Structure 1
């Protein structure tokens, strides 16, 4: 329902009047407004201009639903207009990005050949490009001032444009403060997120926060880590801006310094790993002792018993020969002992059993070497 339809319904409800709206009524109201100074006597033109300006401001506030508690609405409107103007300027610079326009079809065949017509069209295009570029610069300055006034810490962390896009995507600064850091990280990449969940692939690592300067100056390998840390610090600064009473940007500067330190650490670690300078820096200097020279004692290296070295074949053969000689000698001695015991037993057996018992005892001791 348009604004005129809403006005008609209000008049019908409040005043019980039948209202008619048509193009003829619009032309009639335009004529009355242009001739109102002659129709109403004693009305200065300055007061009439002030009345029109006040009415325009009232309608604008109603359209924007302006309130003192929700001043970030101006930022949302400004960033939307900035994006629109940037796209228009991009289309004027590179018309092939939007559509292919043939100048001969827009102009007649005779007009296309005419050189003054081409010069006039070129001047108009250049003037339009310059005007839109200046308007975009004014929008950027306004957006920068509003962001520093409403969300200074967020502006320090991610910049004016990225911060304004985050606020516009969430709807307001308070709604953005309610989001966790993981949501802030992928805010703006909802289509890619749901497509990844549907196809069971890797989810995106960043959304609108990808355009922040800290993420842009990072290598492709560390973009995910830096975007995650930046989203965590950004979520803190957003809540501080939305709910805190302090208007300084000290917290944003401190968090940005932490992210930059982490970024520098990751980049230096990657460089050291590639070049090998990290190992050279980590290597300790050679210790030089100026004391007297001592002989190294290998016995202190281990507490285990020393293992004997392998013997030579000649030593083994000599030892085996000595053992064989001793065995033969022992065998000869035992043979003589057994022969002596046998003779003794046969002689004692002839003399009687008591004598045999004492002889057996003697033979046992003799045989055992006792």
Structure 2
């Protein structure tokens, strides 16, 4: 084994150490382990050859980001090339590194042999422990400040460029949407029971919870309901026959009388429920927009809410893309799966995918088959959404057509298109869409340039007219020339000359 050098990346810069030469690595390891806690003994084994501090915090962050990805930064290449002695370069020597990916990149870039096994991890541990004492002008306090600053900036950058940061919004919004559904249903049942003491016949006439809450808020005391409120009722119910039934039922209702205070509380509660239901609709629109931006193909294939539930259950779109189709098929039915495995019964055919319309439309015999096929297409759609550069819903539309054709095949026996043909069509359409976008961007840029040129021409024309009509003073303002001072005969001649100038040119 040749001479060993160890590269250490600190928050303050790069450092290269030379290790005392031993014939066998195994002989060196016990001494290193014994001297890690003792600085004087450790200095006898390891010597600092060179230290290259970072110039700015931005360069430190850039360097550490590159190293974490296994890429050799340019300043590290220069440091290693200049610091390693020429005699050492000619002989067989080894650079010890902590990360094998970084070692492979250094070997490719500079041709140095790198190692991360054996005694190297112990030496790096000792360097990390004593680093502040091994570099001149460095103290444990300054080392801690540098590490803290770089740690904060590195973490901030990782959070900023988190791949799943948009998925988190989808996960939170679908969780809130499910919670709102439960709350609205619970509160609506409470209104039905509460207002049912006063007007029990309204429940049968208006079964919808949202409409019932709105009507409760409008009617209040059923004894005061008359034809004046007919128009307002028709706006809510959108059915004149139902409105008439409500008015008739209010006149002959068997409900008990209720005090104004109780009615006020019921009205306030109904208003809250209506607002909550309105916010639920608004949240559903927000979720739809997010799904269109993040996972358009998955949303087109199985809908916004089912797609969002799959992403939420997987943890992120990236995790969902990594799942095989068999896992996607039973997402949400884990309890049933493990129970079936334990009791050696039949495993579940579907989990969250059961809420998709395709499985509801399939026959009883074909539900398992269509769920397996749908899970396959969902897996493809999620992978396209996760790894594509230009998001579009073209593949989702094609995959949806495939599932529709498969349903027809189960019912009528019509043979659907092969997957290869459909994917080729989708790729052609996607390429055409990208070209159209590029053409639109080129047209927009050219139109912007033309507008700028027109503005410049108009400004130049205005400046020319100002210069023709007057002279500029010392401040750059135009001063009108007195026309009275010029002779009456010469003035029109000058104008004629000015008119003829463009013609002559």
TM-score (norm 2): 0.37
- The structure where strand makes up a greater share of residues is 2
- The structure where helix makes up a greater share of residues is 1
Q: Which has the larger radius of gyration?
A: 1
The structure, 1 or 2, with the larger RCO (C-alpha pairs under 8 Å, 6+ apart) is 1
